[in-house]
Structure 1
Amino acid sequence: MASPWRGLSRTVWILVVARAVNRIGAFTLPFLGVVLTVEFKASLSETGLILAVFGAATIPSRLLGGQLADRLGRRRTIVLGLTGCAIAQLWIASSHALWSAVLATILLGLAFEIYEPPSQAMIADVTEPADRPAAYGLYSAALAAAGVLAGLLAAAISHWDLRWLFVADAITCMSCAILVALALPTDVRRERSPDRPATVWRDSRLLLLLVGGTVFATIYMQLVIGVPLTLLEQGLPESGTGIILAVSAVTLIVAQRLLRVQHLDDFRAIAIGYLLVGVGLVVTAIAHSLTVFLLAAVLWSLGELFLLTRYLTQASGLAPEEARGRYLAVFGLSWGIATTIAPLTVTQLLATTGPAGLWLTTAAAAGVLAVLQPWFRKRLAPV
């Protein structure tokens, strides 16, 4: 079978390799709630509030990344964001009091999303619209491949000291920054357009896409934050999270090669993705053993394969070239909003309804999004 990634530019491959290097260490977020609870003795409600503050901090981070991507340049912005993440991770690892860890977590949030708009915009810059699903698919596949090692490392290190997770992530952030600085082409200066920020916020199709993307991102972040806490609730070992991450990553890699989803219509692919995620969430709701959690991870990971690249393809397709960073930054606010909402919904639903209530509610949201895709198709059609 011909590779769907044949013919992609050198810049795309460099970005993919750099992101994969960073992803090897980026297994800290699923453990952040556990670290706050176990290492710093925060209560469940305090943990939810701290993670919500982290999520809120990623919103200006994403907007800053978009502004800098269009004005300072893609490469410089990527390096800046990764360096900030490394500093914050080392601060968390060296903290000895909850207040210090909270300040470091806020700094991490402020730097966390700076990387994404310039990297996503650069991929769109160097690819034709028809090739973008494949390019973003390669980006996701590389993250999944690195996630296999990340999950195994997380499982190993979590037996030792959870703080070392943050040290490892800081090292990979800096490695990624160095690779980007040395290997990516020199930034191209773009004309400043004073009216563009208003134009971005007035694009009704972009705002509608932001709504749909926010629901997806919230579901995704509830899995990231909720699965480790659910394992604790069920009395399963902390290392199970790392194993689940590894199985999820393997599923994405294998399915990326076997299922040619790039040729599917965007809205049909999104509907299929939500249905698979919903089924996986129902299985998560009834899971009481690691084996069943792994089955659930396979199902919702297959769903993510259909979903992850399509929203980015749609958002980049709406954007004029000179404002692409800002368009992708505004769309990317979905992740900041989700990272703010998810810790609160996860901890509150776990406290009031237990794991079954949390995951059945989330599955219902996925089902609604699957049914609504024909409605989204009509309203996102080109003007």
Structure 2
Amino acid sequence: MPARPAGAPWGLPGPFWWLWGGTLVTSAGGFVVPFMAIYLTTVRGYSVFFTGLTLTVFGVGSGIASLFGGILADRVGRRAVLLASEVLTVTGMLGLGLTQGRAPVLLFTLTVGVGLNATRPARAAAVADLVAPADLPRAYALIYWATNLGFSAAAVTAGLAASHGFLLLFLVNALANLLAGVVVYLRVPETRPPPGPRRAADAAAPAGAAGAVPRSPAFLVLLGTVLLLGLLFQQPLVVLPLAMTADGLSPADYGTAMMMNGLVIAVLQLPLTRLAGRLRPEYALASATLVTGLGMGLTALVHGVAGYGASVVLWSLGEIVVWPTCMALVAALSPPDRQGGYQGWFLSTWSLSVALAPVLSGRVVESSGTAPVWGACLCLAVVCAGGQLLLARLRGDRRAEPVPGREEAATVP
């Protein structure tokens, strides 16, 4: 088991902090994707249909990369995948800024989608290799915090860069990913453990099948709850702007309400993570899920920017705990030589919910308006919390039990 290094910041090893810094840099430079629709329609003059197709291609690349990036991280190493992903992202960003034509745009958009998202399971697996199990929720919370801080900075930087031409956006984004790649190359060693003892629940999978579907009942229950959580957390992006517009509010009002999400995460991520760490992870996750459902359910009852902003604050408190706790549970349920693959399944399941949410909620809004969506969110949260409590029963008393083989497999430089 990785030991807490003496004198390391917050008891976390040095390589973790380099991973954290790389996450902050790439997130702060990652403002191209939110501006893609504007770039393609206004600068390139493409149709709305082609713009939608391009963003779909990005989503397809993201989903594929989330799964296969994790599988490759188990087979060829975390560091190799992190480096290759940054190279792909830099190539895609430069290609989008410099080339002309629909086919190159689609190709380089796919490249960016793969590059940006293949890093996620590899990074999550490297964190699990480096950090003691008891510290994983805090470590993943710090990664999530860096992602949100970086993205908040990106929103400001993007406006300044775009005023000097969209090419500058692509160049700065490519430079950020290049810098992150240099950090990984110079400061982050390979952490992939050798193959170790396999769980009985995974015994049916062929030996060495890093991408095989996990057979652990506990992990499958976790994936089911992740699918529901993904459906929940897409509604503020899909239905909330429709609800606020129907309530007579402007897009700027929606932006003001959603700004509360970033503010809550920036200010309360660390103290709330510390508080949640006093609970068993499944209980912390179930509590956060119920808070999320309550916040979204109350959206049907509020009016005005202040009311919607208050509901955003409430479900944001749940979001703070949900994401890092899910990643820590994935790490706890994963064999040490399949950390990347399990994190890939987790991220792919989340991506599936991102694809399903607009279709499902769109049908409800068309037939009955936005209010039933928020009631459905509350019901989904209750069902999801029940699944998380079932997960606690399946895991028994293993609150921070070391994964078999992690003691001898962990590599701490």
Q: TM-score, normalised by structure 2?
A: 0.76
Tell me what 2:390 maps to. 375
Tell me what 2:250 maps to. 236
Tell me what 1:117 maps to. 121
**Which one is further off, 12-21 or 54-63?**
54-63
In structure 2, how many angstroms separate the alpha carbons of the residues matched to 1:70 and 1:209? 21
Tell me what 1:197 maps to. 210
In structure 1, how many angstroms separate the alpha carbons of the residues matched to 2:163 and 2:379? 35
CA change 1:268–1:32 in 2 (3 A) is farther
Matched to 1:333, the amino acid is S
Matched to 2:331, the amino acid is S
Tell me what 2:202 maps to. none
CA change 1:232–1:33 in 2 (3 A) is farther
| Amino-acid identity (%) | 25
> Would you say 1:338 and 2:353 are equivalent positions?
yes
Q: Is the 8 A contact 1:147 1:249 kept in 2?
A: no
Q: Is the 8 A contact 2:241 2:251 kept in 1?
A: no
Q: How is 1:35-46 mapped onto 2 (pairs within 5 angstroms)?
A: 40-42=46-48
SS of 1:263's partner is coil
SS of 2:48's partner is coil
CA change 1:211–1:295 in 2 (3 A) is same
For residues 149-208 of structure 1, give each alpha carbon's deviation from its aligned partner in whole angstroms, at most 9, with x where no partner exists.
234345666888788665554442232222222221246574598444376532332222
SS of 1:314's partner is helix
In structure 2, how many angstroms separate the alpha carbons of the residues matched to 1:176 and 1:81? 10
Q: How far apart are 1:143 and its partner, in Å?
A: 2.1
In structure 1, how many angstroms separate the alpha carbons of the residues matched to 2:29 and 2:375? 31
Q: How far apart are 1:285 and its partner, in Å?
A: 4.6
In structure 1, how many angstroms separate the alpha carbons of the residues matched to 2:343 and 2:115? 17
Gaps of 5+ in 1: none
In structure 1, how many angstroms separate the alpha carbons of the residues matched to 2:29 and 2:124? 20
For residues 250-304 of structure 1, give each alpha carbon's deviation from its aligned partner in whole angstroms, at most 9, with x where no partner exists.
3123223433222222122112211222233235456665444433332222111
Match of 2:141 among 124, 132, 137: 137
Q: How is 1:149-298 mapped onto 2 (pairs within 5 angstroms)?
A: 149-153=153-157, 168-186=172-190, 190=194, 194-197=207-210, 200-224=213-237, 236-237=250-251, 241=255, 246-259=259-272, 260-285=275-300, 289-298=304-313
Q: CA RMSD in A?
A: 3.8
Q: Is the 8 A contact 1:133 1:313 kept in 2?
A: yes
CA change 1:33–1:293 in 2 (3 A) is farther
Q: Is the 8 A contact 2:74 2:192 kept in 1?
A: no
Q: How far apart are 1:314 and its partner, in Å?
A: 0.9
Matched to 2:394, the amino acid is R
SS of 2:118's partner is coil
Q: How far apart are 1:33 and its partner, in Å?
A: 5.9
**Which one is further off, 192-201 or 14-23?**
192-201
Q: Is the 8 A contact 1:19 1:143 kept in 2?
A: yes
**Which one is further off, 184-193 or 64-73?**
184-193
For residues 318-342 of structure 1, give each alpha carbon's deviation from its aligned partner in whole angstroms, at most 9, with x where no partner exists.
1121222122222222122123223
CA change 1:296–1:258 in 2 (3 A) is same
Match of 1:59 among 30, 50, 63: 63
**Which one is further off, 307-316 or 250-259?**
250-259
**Which one is further off, 227-236 or 59-68?**
227-236
For residues 31-72 of structure 1, give each alpha carbon's deviation from its aligned partner in whole angstroms, at most 9, with x where no partner exists.
5567677774426xx877765554343332122211221222
CA change 1:307–1:290 in 2 (3 A) is same
CA change 1:67–1:85 in 2 (3 A) is same
Gaps of 5+ in 2: 1-7, 197-205, 399-413
In structure 2, how many angstroms separate the alpha carbons of the residues matched to 1:187 and 1:179? 15
CA change 1:158–1:225 in 2 (3 A) is farther
SS of 2:189's partner is coil
Q: Is the 8 A contact 2:126 2:192 kept in 1?
A: no
Matched to 1:266, the amino acid is P
Match of 2:130 among 123, 126, 131: 126
CA change 1:374–1:194 in 2 (3 A) is closer
Matched to 2:221, the amino acid is L
Larger radius of gyration: 2
For residues 313-365 of structure 1, give each alpha carbon's deviation from its aligned partner in whole angstroms, at most 9, with x where no partner exists.
11111112122212222222212212322343455555555544544433432
**Aligned positions, number:** 377
CA change 1:122–1:7 in 2 (3 A) is same
Tell me what 1:301 maps to. 316
**Which one is further off, 79-88 or 162-171?**
162-171
SS of 1:202's partner is coil
In structure 2, how many angstroms separate the alpha carbons of the residues matched to 1:91 and 1:285? 44
Tell me what 1:314 maps to. 329
Q: Is the 8 A contact 2:71 2:340 kept in 1?
A: yes
Q: Is the 8 A contact 2:89 2:174 kept in 1?
A: yes
Q: How far apart are 1:374 and its partner, in Å?
A: 2.2
SS of 2:277's partner is helix
Q: Is the 8 A contact 2:126 2:191 kept in 1?
A: no
Q: TM-score, normalised by structure 1?
A: 0.81
SS of 2:66's partner is helix
